[in-house]
Chain A
Amino acid sequence: QSVLTQPPSASGTPGQRVTISCSGSSSNIGSNPVNWYQQLPGTAPKLLIYSSNQRPSGVPDRFSGSKSGTSASLVISGLQSEDEADYYCAAWDDKQRVVFGGGTKLTVL
């Protein structure tokens, strides 16, 4: 059972906008920034969003993040076939640990 809660799956057609949610508590998302990772099949995770809404260099602006209270969201606009992957949210928890969501498998129909 993951500390952060994500939907196990999401889907969309090319060009659509998809939102993946991440719910936590006051000890993690409520008091620390959220990070999002993309994991393509058979590869290591890649940082997609950090500090809740910042994109590392090289990440397309189709990816955006936001946070409100104890929840966060990842939005993918203009969905592309290469976006098909697993997505994880993560945050530092005041119990001195990093906590992850269970992951969301995104399917591009």
Chain B
Amino acid sequence: QVQVVESGGGVVQPGTSLRLSCAAPGLTFTNYGMHWVRQAPGKGLEWVAVIWYDGSKKYYADSVKGRFAISRDDSKNTLYLQMNSLRVEDTAVYYCARDGYSGTPGDFDYWGQGTLVTVSS
């Protein structure tokens, strides 16, 4: 069973920064689009950001644009999410997810187990 592991979550104060990582030994990220998706406590899924398979394009949800940055290091098979100027409403479980085979973003065939980010004063 392939495991995708996010790390870097924790409890932080509003206005501070955090960097999440996502790694998957045994599962290649190379040549696949990679995403971050979050889920606030008791709420539904919210897409956060995508980075194209070759890193050439990055898109963000309006709610995080200008504050979050997605990046990837294919040599380490690792995805990142740099989160700055964190707000209380950013509190959520953050999942990384890999695009599947359809060729259109959004068919996430692998998900991590999620890492909890709590923003609270």
Q: Do A and B come from one complex?
A: yes
Nearest residue (CB) in A for B110 is A47
The residues of B that contact A98 with a CB separation of less than 8 Å are: 35, 37, 47, 50, 105-106
Q: Is A63 an interface residue (CB 8 A)?
A: no
Interface residues on A, range: 20 to 34
- For A90, the chain B residues whose CB sits under 8 A away are 45, 47, 106
Q: CB distance A100 to B102 under 8 Å?
A: no
Instruction: Return the chain A residue nearest B46 by Cβ.
Output: A100
- Asked if A47 and B44 sit within 8 Å, CB to CB, the answer is no
The stretch among B9-17, B21-29, B77-85, B111-119 that forms the contact with chain A is B111-119
Check if A97 sits within 8 Å of B44, measured CB to CB.
Answer: no
Asked if A62 CB lies within 8 Å of chain B CBs, one says no
Residues 53-92 (chain A) with a chain B CB within 8 angstroms: 54, 56, 86, 88, 90-92
CB within 8 Å for A103 and B108 given contacts A33-B102, A50-B100: no
Known contacts A44-B113, A44-B114, A98-B35, A2 near B44 by CB under 8 Å: yes
With an 8 A cutoff between CB atoms, is B61 at the interface?
Answer: yes
Interface size of B as a range: 20 to 34
Return chain B residues, CB-CB under 8 Å to A39.
45
Contact present for A97 and B47 (CB under 8 Å): yes
With a cutoff of 8 Å between Cβ atoms, the chain B residues found around residue A44 in the complex are 95, 111-114
Residues of B within 8 A of A (CB): 35, 37, 44-47, 50, 59-61, 95, 100-102, 104-109, 111-114
Query: Which 9 pairs of residues, A with B, have the shortest CB-CB distance?
Result: A50-B107, A98-B47, A103-B44, A44-B111, A96-B59, A98-B106, A51-B102, A92-B106, A100-B45
26 pairs, A vs B, C-beta closer than 8 Å: A32-B104, A32-B106, A33-B102, A33-B104, A33-B107, A37-B45, A37-B108, A39-B45, A44-B95, A45-B45, A45-B111, A50-B100, A50-B107, A51-B102, A51-B104, A86-B44, A90-B106, A92-B105, A96-B59, A97-B59, A99-B47, A100-B45, A100-B47, A101-B44, A103-B44, A103-B45
